[in-house]
Amino acid sequence: MMSKVPRKLREQFQTKRCRLLYLIYNAPKSRIKNDPGIKSKLCKTLGYKSDGHFYYDLNYLINSNLLIEKDGYYKITREGKEEFLFLYSLKVATFASLVFGLLAVYYYWGLKTATLRHYEGILLLGITLMIAGVLYHITRRRLRPHIPQKAKQLLKE
């Protein structure tokens, strides 16, 4: 039963609508131009079968208050950013685990050279934290929406 939860979560993050929102989330200033040329290119690179499906998802995101149209741009709202809070939390947990793990290993070597006792526990803690950080990172990479490189290049134009 537990294996179905990550699969459903992963599937949720891999929908075209979620990929579109994530692309805008990662764009400079979390916005893209409201330009028919860019929207058409995004439609193709994100794998939409037609412009109608793309515009349906775009309108859904706007009507759900995840995006707003302002000053010739589609900009992600606070609610839209909160859709990826879980992924951001995993990113922070990854960083924290790796830093604490590295500090524990550094502390271990300090104790080892000073020939103090009980340094094996600190080494084990450091290795455990680093493994947890790597697992968080792998989970985050598997869950985050996969954006084609062509779509990322469109944001730089």
By C-alpha distance, which of 135, 147, 108, 151 is closest to 6?
Answer: 135
Same domain as 128, residue 52? no
Can you give the residue range of the structural domain that contains 139? 85-143
pLDDT at res. 115: 55
Q: Which of 13-17, 107-111, 143-147 has the lowest mean pLDDT?
A: 107-111
pTM: 0.67
Same domain as 73, residue 8? yes
Please report which residue ranges of the chain form alpha helices under DSSP H: 4-13, 16-26, 36-45, 51-63, 78-82, 85-113, 119-143, 149-156
pLDDT tens for 75-123 read 999 899 888 888 888 888 888 888 888 877 877 777 777 655 566 777 7
Same domain as 46, residue 102? no
The answer to whether the CB of 23 falls within 8 A of the CB of 152 is yes
* Confidence tier at 1 by pLDDT (50, 70, 90): very low
Average pLDDT, the chain: 81
Structural Rg of the chain based on CA atoms:
21
Same domain as 72, residue 15? yes
Same domain as 49, residue 31? yes
Same domain as 110, residue 50? no
Same domain as 63, residue 90? no
pLDDT at res. 138: 84
Q: What's the Cα-to-Cα distance from 101 to each of 35, 67, 121, rounded to whole Å?
A: 47, 39, 12
CATH number at residue 46: 1.10.10
Same domain as 73, residue 114? no
pLDDT tens for 63-73 read 999 999 989 89
